[in-house]
């Protein structure tokens, strides 16, 4: 087994976490914060835009079962990489589209994915930032596995359910089986 990490931000981490947890080869998804200037920020500090952090997920995956480019293809599908500091009704710099790469190979693959995959999916310019990974801080316990523990919560129904449906339709062959919310 070849374990790697990917760190991605594309709006609310609850949405991204729920989708990546579905995928075969993904072993662990942790919601958290990256890219800011203070140690161990709280959700309140991140949402107030005082810490400079971005809501992200840290994905541990088996690259023999799912590749980094495949993860990025899912990433482009579940958020809008053409809007700066906004995803749907979520507004603020903590919701920006960003790929934190862990090595030069990931950086190169991300650049290639932006130019070859994302630009084919969207007409507007891609504003996704590409940055080296910085210190990752796991979010508070109540933010972990949020969709799995709160599937009937209004935000989940309105924002996450459509993303799950889109992934099921486009990537059904990549979904873990059985999965409790497929």
Of 71, 45, 43, the C-alpha closest to 59 is: 71
Choosing from 12, 15, 34, 156, which is the catalytic residue?
Answer: 12
* Cβ contact 16:147 at 8 Å: no
Strands of the sheet containing 136-138, edge to edge, are 129-132, 97-101, 3-10, 54-62, 26-34, 136-138
The angle that helices 13-20 and 161-171 make with each other, rounded to 10 degrees, is 30
> Is 12 tagged catalytic?
yes
Other Cβ atoms closer than 10 A to 74: 22
CA gap 136, 152 in Å, rounded: 29
CA gap 91, 95 in Å, rounded: 7
Helix (H, G, I), strand (E, B) or coil at 9: strand
Q: Which residues are catalytic?
A: 12
């Amino acid at each position: 087994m070849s374990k790697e990490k990917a760190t991605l931000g594309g709006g609310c981490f609850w949405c991204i976490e729920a989708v990546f947890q579905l995928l075969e080869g993904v072993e662990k998804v942790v919601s958290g914060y990256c890219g800011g200037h203070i140690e161990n920020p709280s959700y309140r500090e991140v949402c107030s835009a005082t810490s400079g952090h971005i809501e992200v997920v840290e994905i541990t995956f088996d690259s023999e079962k799912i590749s980094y480019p495949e993860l990025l293809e899912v990433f482009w599908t579940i958020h809008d990489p053409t809007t700066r500091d906004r995803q749907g009704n979520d507004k603020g710099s903590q919701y920006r589209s960003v790929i934190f790469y862990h090595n030069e190979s990931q950086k190169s693959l991300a650049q290639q994915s932006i130019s070859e995959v994302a630009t084919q999916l969207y007409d507007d310019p891609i504003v996704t930032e590409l940055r080296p990974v910085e210190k990752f801080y796991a979010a508070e316990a109540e933010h972990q596995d949020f969709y799995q523990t709160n599937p009937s919560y209004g935000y989940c129904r309105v924002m996450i359910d459509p993303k799950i449906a889109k992934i099921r339709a486009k990537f059904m062959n990549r979904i873990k089986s059985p999965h409790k919310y497929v």
